[in-house]
Structure 1
Amino acid sequence: MNCVIIEDEKPAAEKLLSLLAVGSQQVYVEAVLGSVKEAIDWLQQHATPELIFMDIELSDGLSFKIFEQINIECPVIFITAYDEYWQEAFEHNSIDYLLKPVKPEKLDAALKKYQKLKQHFTGNYQTLANWPATQSQAGYKKRFLVKRGTDYISIKAEEVAYFYATHKLVCMVDSSGQKFIMDQSLADIETQVDPTSFYRVNRKYLVNMSAIKRIKTYPKSKLLLEVVPLVTEDIIISQENAAAFKQWMGQ
């Protein structure tokens, strides 16, 4: 497959090139582009590749700006050191979201996913790009197995009020206020729950819509969220995320 890499850090780009060279999939890299501007210029002058590997935080801004200037119709695999852009990435042709440092098995799995989707959609890349939005809800977790003392119990997804990260731990709080320690990262859990029900409001909280009690305005165009069961700290939604959150609430 022909692909393009958009990555501003030379060591990261070289590592990705080496992983692609020894991977199970045959990949031809047409170009390595190091900035938003360079990517826009290249994509304006060349045919759309089959696949793009895209970092998010580039030297001259977020790579999402590229989509404002270029109509990218091919799928994108985002590769970043940050997990807070997951929601926005899947609004921009993403078929996978890999965290740095990239593990060979994760990259290989992402490429195999691309090939399976490509075969399924028989080359219709626009449909492929829209695949995450049309994915069946049947693919999301219905229950979470958690530990309480020496026992394990199963919690229905709809009974979860929110997940939150604290002191390198991730906890689940159910609608009755019970708290359970999870053995997964918040980013991993976010990919497992139905995005029409759960929203990553900030880096710390992943909230079920049914747990939202009140939304208040906050200085600098931010939002303040009140949830039940109550929490002892303010849950703030950034100005950048506020519009997307309100759109999600009004779905």
Structure 2
Amino acid sequence: MPIVLIIEDELPNVQRLEKMLRVLDKNIIFLENLQTVQASIAWLKTNVQPDIIFMDIRLIDGISFEIFNHVTITAPVIFITAYDEYALKAFEVNGIDYLLKPLDADKLEKSFRKAMAVKSPENDAHVLQLVKNMLARQPIYRSRFLIAHKDRYLMIMTTDIAYFTIENRTTFLVTHDSKRFIADQTLEVLEHELDPEFFFRISRQFIISLKSIDQIYQHFNAQLKVKLIPALNDGVIISRERSALLKKWLDQADR
């Protein structure tokens, strides 16, 4: 009677996964469906852990690897992702499974059987350490966004994005060709999802791309004023603290 915990923020994916797992074992018990990093941390700190955890990598409030920084996971974990499998190659070669969306029934069964066979605390410690190592050495950043626009969906590459801004608690994505769309993520989430080599949060209201910077001016009290492309009316005034960080971000050699 396998006991399963699902950490996934999209209900259709949860329902599909549960349906496929019931085909593999009709006696399976689903404890909970957790949708955020914070909810997962809270639940795992106060509940007995299951036989298997199915964990999406990108959740509403951030990357699920953050959970491992707060909770010791003793259950085998099968990661689920819609992103580049090469970034997750470490899991495969070290005996930790991952599944690409949409889920494949044969791969799910193989992963499920392998996870059920993992019982050794030694293996659990190895799982935790590998995830921490992967997070430190090979961060995963967004390469694109799926944006709902009118009656259709648009795929927008991060290379086409000039900046993100928040207005009246709504996040807007602005492209280099001045197109403007509503984004689902908060700026706090986007800070973790965007590659810091190319994106920088200059204020509470803006995350900008390197290519969006037009001019930088000295302002009062060691502050900077940045003019962006596409242009805003008066540019953006940056606090003294963020100005120092911005100059440090800009003044670096290519990796």
TM-score, normalised to structure 2's length? 0.50
Q: Distance in 2 between matches of 1:151 and 1:218?
A: 43
| Aligned-pair CA distance for 1:118 | 4.9
Question: What residue is the counterpart of 1:220 in the other structure?
Answer: 221
| Aligned-pair CA distance for 1:19 | 6.8
Letter in 1 for 2:198: S
Question: What residue is the counterpart of 2:241 in the other structure?
Answer: 240
Q: How many residues align?
A: 149
Give the root-mean-square deviation of aligned CA atoms. Answer: 3.4
Moved over 6 A (4+): none
Q: Distance in 1 between matches of 2:193 and 2:126?
A: 20
Contact 1:24 1:108 in 2 (8 A): no
Deviations along 1:126-184, whole A, 9 cap, x unmatched?
A: x96x954x434xx1111111122211110110100000000110000000000001112
2:154 aligns to what SS in structure 1? strand
Q: Cα 1:117–1:225, aligned 2, differ >3 Å: closer, same or farther?
A: farther
Q: Distance in 2 between matches of 1:209 and 1:142?
A: 15
Q: 2:130 aligns with which of 111, 115, 120?
A: 120
1:220 aligns to what SS in structure 2? helix
Q: Distance in 1 between matches of 2:162 and 2:209?
A: 5
Contact 2:68 2:128 in 1 (8 A): no
2:241 aligns to what SS in structure 1? helix
Q: Distance in 2 between matches of 1:221 and 1:227?
A: 19
Question: What residue is the counterpart of 2:191 in the other structure?
Answer: 190
In the TM superposition, what are the counterparts of 1:87-126 in structure 2 within 5 Å? 96=66, 110-111=70-71, 112=73, 118-120=128-130
Question: What residue is the counterpart of 2:251 in the other structure?
Answer: 250
1:240 aligns to what SS in structure 2? helix
Q: Distance in 2 between matches of 1:118 and 1:142?
A: 26
Question: What residue is the counterpart of 2:181 in the other structure?
Answer: 180
Q: Cα 1:110–1:245, aligned 2, differ >3 Å: closer, same or farther?
A: same
1:229 aligns to what SS in structure 2? coil
Question: What residue is the counterpart of 2:202 in the other structure?
Answer: 201
Question: What residue is the counterpart of 2:152 in the other structure?
Answer: 151
Q: Which runs of 5+ in 2 are unaligned?
A: 1-41, 50-60, 78-124
Deviations along 1:90-148, whole A, 9 cap, x unmatched?
A: xxxxx84xxxxxxxxxx6785249x7775228xxxxx96x954x434xx1111111122
Deviations along 1:199-241, whole A, 9 cap, x unmatched?
A: 0101000000011111111101111111100112431221112
Q: Distance in 2 between matches of 1:145 and 1:196?
A: 22
Question: What residue is the counterpart of 2:231 in the other structure?
Answer: 230
Q: Cα 1:237–1:24, aligned 2, differ >3 Å: closer, same or farther?
A: farther
Q: Distance in 1 between matches of 2:45 and 2:145?
A: 38
Q: Distance in 2 between matches of 1:230 and 1:210?
A: 13
Q: 2:138 aligns with which of 102, 124, 135?
A: 135
Question: What residue is the counterpart of 1:22 in the other structure?
Answer: 46
Letter in 2 for 1:170: T
Q: Which structure has the bigger radius of gyration?
A: 2
Q: Percent identity, aligned pairs only?
A: 26
